[in-house]
Amino acid sequence: METRRDFIKKSAIMGAVLCLPISLTHESQAAYPDLKTRNPKKALILWYSQTGQTRRYARLIGCILKGKDLTVDALDIQGIDKNILPDYDLIIIGTPVFYYDTPSNISEWLKTIPSIKGTPVAAFVSFGGPKGNQHNASCHLLKLLANKGGVPVGRDAFRNIASYPTPHWNSANQSSGQHLPNAATFGQVRRFTADVLERITSNETISIGYEPAMREGLRALPLVWMNKKAINKHTVDAQKCIGCGTCVSKCPTKAINPFKQIVDRDRCLACFGCLNNCPVDAVVMEYRGERLYGFPEYLKRNKITIIEPPEFSTCS
Ligand SMILES: Cc1cc2nc3c(=O)[nH]c(=O)nc-3n(C[C@H](O)[C@H](O)[C@H](O)COP(=O)(O)O)c2cc1C
Ligand code: SF4
Ligand code: SF4
């Protein structure tokens, strides 16, 4: 649990960081191990997704790779056995950007995976942006994989509909009636996947270059802690709850118990996965006294139908 003292300390650090943004830039020029293959046959696509957007890109990448005759497993990070990772000769990981970074439960998980020495690895993030530190978040994922011996061959960031709930969602992402993701986003995903394969074939790696960004400085703030302070109510409406358990399976820290209407505020990461996935609006959250509503309700109120890539009609 973040204390006030920690908060003040981190705020001071942030001030220093913002004064020296250039110090944040560093290129990871570490010598990578040799690639274990230049002709991958078995790919693992790992995704973490709260509102389905990252999962959509993971699935599309899987379809593209299958079209190139690779065997593909596209799996939710939550609940997989990490010991399967060394069995693959290509690993691609995708997460949303949360609080200007990789979701903390995923970075912690990546620190515990076994050695994947020589395995080509690529990372992507989906984000709500436009200024949300996406580049650095994807570099962070790649760095964690490289720390385990992965050889970086690609990274990218795909723009989306923001899933961060507010009492007053706006539809800025939907300007001109053009819904995100759109054909351009899917084109970017196809290029990313093709580039990854091309780099492996030509034995070309990429360096992990963090960009100087004001938003990077914000990571020094205890953003989750501050948000949790602003969320003055977080519980479950017993009258509305249908006991489907979706919030439990979506919660990365097992912080919610809908059957007892309890949320363990110490464990909660303020990821809004419970609110954003409850099918009947039974998760009650108030932000500074105002009731929040989740992603499905946002889509409904704005009459947004998310476009799916054409590949999905032929690829299971
Ligand atoms: C708790 C939370 C924090 C977020 N923080 C950021 C952020 O810092 N930068 C950004 O670009 N998008 C941010 N977003 C938006 C998500 O990254 C974006 O909507 C993403 O595509 C959601 O992916 P998913 O549907 O796979 O969960 C945030 C969303 C949530 C719920
Ligand atoms: S209880 Fe907290 S950590 Fe769990 S899904 Fe809800 S917001 Fe996320
Ligand atoms: S997702 Fe909603 S309806 Fe389902 S158990 Fe949780 S609170 Fe109840």
Instruction: Out of 99-108, 176-185, 186-195, 274-283, pick the least confident.
Output: 176-185
Which pLDDT value is given to residue 21? 41
DSSP secondary structure code for residue 1 in this structure:
-
Alpha carbons 74 and 26: distance in angstroms, whole number: 32
258 lines ligand 3 (CB under 6 A): yes
Beta strands in 14-169 (DSSP E): 27-28, 42-47, 71-76, 90-96, 120-127, 151-159
The predicted model gives 10-36 an average pLDDT of 55
247 lines ligand 3 (CB under 6 A): yes
Which one has a higher pLDDT value, 217 or 39?
A: 39
Instruction: For residue 160, give the nearest of 182, 181, 131, 135 by alpha carbon.
Output: 181
Distance 293 CA to ligand 3 centre (A): 14
pTM of the model: 0.90
Tens of pLDDT along 200-238? 999 999 999 888 777 677 766 788 888 889 999 999 999
Which pLDDT value is given to residue 20? 40
Ligand having the closest approach to the CA of 165: 1
200: which 2 tokens? 């492996």
94 lines ligand 1 (CB under 6 A): no
Distance 163 CA to ligand 1 centre (A): 5
Which pLDDT value is given to residue 2? 43
Tens of pLDDT along 123-133? 999 998 777 78
